[in-house]
Every structure is written in structure tokens, then in C-alpha cells.
């Protein structure tokens, strides 16, 4: 019975065009990037500044969902100690 339900759910998702997007951070948090081009990011509570080695992403270039435009972009870019965008 459970297997049949799972097959039905899979078929429903395939026919409805389910487009689930995983958030980068949980609600009440925002992402920050590690300085130095080493990659990596972390989530910080809204209203708190990131702690070193993390800084806020440049305005307008903040990833919101896994594999969105900015998430993909930051996989090959970083931030240096002067807040300049660098290729990694």
C-alpha cells in the first residue's frame, strides 16, 4: 500500500511540474561568503553581522536558492579582503 502511494505521488509530481527550490538558509537567516576565495558560505541570523572570515554578499548578488543564478556564480568567484569580487 505504501509503495503504491509513493508511485502515485511520484507520478503526480512528474505531471504537475513540481518545482521545489531548496533555500540557501532557513527562515530568519541570510547567507554570507567567506573572504579569500576559498569558497564556502554560512548562514547568520537576520539582524546580526557575520563573524570573520565571513562578509555579506554584495547587494543584488545574494544567492537565495540552491542552484539559482547567484549560487552558481559564487562557485567560481569569491570576495577578497578589500571586498572586491575575484575569480577562484
pTM exceeds 0.85: no
Q: Is residue 54 a contact partner of residue 42, using CB atoms and an 8 Å limit?
A: yes
Which helix H or strand E contains 88, and what residues bound it?
none
Say if residues 58 and 78 touch (Cβ distance below 8 Å).
Answer: no
Residue-wise pLDDT for 49-87, tens only, equals: 999 999 999 999 999 999 999 999 999 999 999 999 999
What is the grid cell recorded at 50?
Answer: 557575520
Question: Domain limits of the chain?
Answer: 22-82
Candidates 85, 83, 59; CA nearest to 74 is 85
The Cα–Cα gap between 26 and 80 comes to 26
Amino acid at each position: 500500500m505504501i509503495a503504491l502511494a509513493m508511485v502515485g505521488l511520484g507520478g503526480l509530481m512528474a505531471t504537475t511540474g513540481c518545482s521545489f527550490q531548496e533555500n540557501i538558509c532557513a527562515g530568519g537567516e541570510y547567507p554570507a561568503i567567506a573572504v579569500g576565495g576559498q569558497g564556502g558560505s554560512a548562514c547568520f541570523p537576520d539582524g546580526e553581522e557575520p563573524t570573520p572570515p565571513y562578509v555579506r554578499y554584495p547587494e543584488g548578488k545574494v544567492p537565495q536558492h540552491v542552484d539559482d543564478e547567484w549560487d552558481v556564480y559564487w562557485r567560481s568567484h569569491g570576495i577578497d579582503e578589500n571586498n572586491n569580487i575575484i575569480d577562484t
